[in-house]
Amino acid sequence: MMAKAGTGQGLLVTETGSRQQSRLSVLVPVIVTTAEGTRRGMLQDLSLRGARLIGSAGLCQDQQVVLQWHRFHALGQVRWIEDDVCGVGFFRSLPVRDLLETRELPPHVEAELDRDVVRRTADAFVQGRVKL
């Protein structure tokens, strides 16, 4: 079952099965930071509790990651990988405001990132200083 999700590009997808929340279909650039480094990918879909990414090369199942897109970020863990796509479960629910604002982003939008903030956030996450 699919339902239009406002005026943005995405659709809210309601699925049967084990999924408990709707997903927002997007195609937005994302920066993925791990203990091993940083890579770029694309958010394919997004929910309050996780995301599906295109560009999972180099990631491992159960690996902890920081996802950053536009001016938003989320901390999580890679739950599954299939070919060049992976699923990330968030440690904390994404604020509804961030999900709704992501819905309105054009597909070509780049991350608005302060490199120093990104580096400090990633370092704190990797060193376990981030309180979940």
Using alpha carbons only, what angle is made at residue 89 by residues 44 and 80, rounded to the nearest 5 degrees?
Answer: 75
**Whole-angstrom Cα distance, residue 43 to residue 39?**
13
Q: What is the pLDDT of residues 28-67, one digit of tens each?
A: 899 999 999 999 999 999 999 999 999 988 899 999 999 9
Total-model pTM: 0.69
Work out the angle at residue 32's Cα, subtended by the Cα atoms of residues 52 and 101, and round it to the nearest 5 degrees.
Answer: 60
Q: What is residue 127's predicted lDDT score, i.e. its pLDDT?
A: 72
Q: What phi, psi does 22 have (nearest 5°)?
A: -70, 155
Neighbours of 84 (CB within 10 A): 12
pLDDT digits (tens, 9 = 90+) for 73-120: 999 999 999 999 999 999 999 999 999 899 888 766 555 554 555 666
DSSP 84: T
Largest CA distance in the chain: 42
Give residues with Cβ within 8 angstroms of 10, minimum separation 6: 24, 25, 26, 102, 103
Distance in angstroms (rounded) separating the CA atoms of residues 74 and 76:
6
Assign 9 a pLDDT band (cuts: 50, 70, 90). very low
Name the token pair of 94.
């994404």
Question: Mean pLDDT, to the nearest integer, of 15-40?
Answer: 77
Cα angle, residue 101 at apex, residues 128 and 111 outer, rounded to 5°: 60
